[in-house]
Amino acid sequence: MSAHESTAFNDALEDLRISGSVLLVEKYFPPWAIDVPNESVLQDLLGVGRETRVLPFHLVRRGAFHLSQSGRELARVEADEVAICPSGAAHRMSFGNRTEPVPMIDVLRRHIAVGCDPALVEDLSTGTELICGVFQMRSSPMNPMLAALPPVLTVKTTGMQANPMLVHAAEMLGMEVALGRRDSFTASRLLEVFCAEAIRSYRERQSTSDPGWFKALDDPRIGPALERIHQQPSAPWTVASLADLVAMSPSRFAARFRETTGQSVMSYVIGWRMNAACRALREGNNGLSEIAAKVGYQDVAAFSRAFKEIVGQSPAKWRAAQREQ
């Protein structure tokens, strides 16, 4: 199944409720280094709760930089590439000989100068021009897409092999920023598209030998089963019924499902049902019996037990906590 036709992919993406903000638009001359704090510090800085994931991104418009974590380089990010950091870990951006890093918080709050003064630089082409910001998304531990993302995701935003939608989003975002409209409605919408298409680009370039959810989506047997689970979470799915849909024996289907997704068939089914239940509890006013039926439980007590086992709270308490937040 094509990446552009996947119900499961789009369903998981929509569930994240992505938004974004541009925080820095700068050009730095070597040597320079900026320390980006961990996710909890960024959440506090942005005034969002722990129920909101904050993923830093760094779009290189010109030049390059090294991205490292705990002294280990994770990526060299080149011109027209974007690095997105889903891990939530603190990291360092740098270029040039060793220099004392500047905390990103200080750059944002106190406008501290970073890197060499351009007036002292003989070759201005050595500068790194960056658009840095964050993608904010709903914290959803049962969303398989979040779990499938690497600690650092890098993709090209130009070139023949680049995702055309990502190319256009990057170009238009650059235009908005150049016009001084980094906080505009248009810039916010562009960041949503930019994030979604960057994830799509990452998915499309994954090797078929790499295990994980993205591989499972494109598996000719497991992919259609995932589609049906997402399309009909309330159906009385069993290993046998899903195996029958894709013309496999239950044992072979179960083994192939675990090999590609890293979890059992019914663990995935229950996880996605509870994810759908969380969405219904958060966004609507339906009673527990209606929500239970929508995710495959005719017995509210059975639904509540399953929900508490997976989420850690009863549906009623979880809904109350979400609304209070």
Distance (Å) of CA 189 to CA 132, 183, 194? 16, 10, 9
Residues 101 and 173 in one domain: yes
| 12 domain-assigned | no
In a domain, 130, yes or no: yes
> Tokens 């995702």 identify what position?
163
* Cβ count within 10 A of residue 21: 15
Q: Do 113 and 37 belong to one domain?
A: yes
Domain that holds residue 22: 17-139+157-205
286 and 174 together in one domain: no
> What backbone torsions phi and psi does residue 102 show, to the nearest 5 degrees?
-105, 130
Average pLDDT, the chain: 90
Q: Which residues pair with 72 in a beta bridge?
A: 69
Does residue 315 lie in a domain region?
A: yes
* Token representation of residue 174: 């650059």
pTM over 0.75: yes
Q: How many domains does the chain have?
A: 2
Q: Are residues 39 and 176 in the same domain?
A: yes
pLDDT in tens, 31-64: 999 999 999 999 999 999 888 999 999 999 999 9
Residue 2 in domain: no
Whether 192 and 76 map to the same domain: the answer is yes
240 with 303, same domain: the answer is yes
Q: For residue 53, is it within any domain? A: yes
Tokens of 1: 């199944």
Write down the residue that tokens 């993608």 correspond to. 135
Residue 229: inside a domain, yes or no? Answer: yes
Residues 200 and 222 occupy one common structural domain: no
Residues 74 and 185 occupy one common structural domain: yes
- pLDDT, tens only, 160-172: 889 999 999 999 9
What's at 250, amino acid-wise?
A: P
Co-location of 65 and 167 in the same domain: yes
- Amino acid 4: pLDDT: 43
Question: Looking at the structure, do residues 31 and 91 belong to the same domain, yes or no?
Answer: yes
Residues 93 and 191 in one domain: yes
- Tokens standing for 99? 């220099």
CATH number at residue 48: 2.60.120
Per-residue pLDDT of the chain (325 residues; tens, 9 = 90+): 444 458 899 999 999 999 999 999 999 999 999 999 999 999 999 999 888 999 999 999 999 999 999 889 999 999 999 999 999 999 999 998 877 899 999 999 877 778 766 766 666 677 999 999 999 998 887 899 988 999 999 999 998 889 999 999 999 999 999 999 999 999 999 999 999 999 999 998 876 566 789 989 989 999 999 999 999 999 999 999 999 999 999 999 999 999 999 899 999 999 999 999 999 998 888 899 999 999 999 899 999 999 999 988 999 999 988 877 6
In a domain, 147, yes or no: no
Same domain, yes or no: 275 and 168 = no
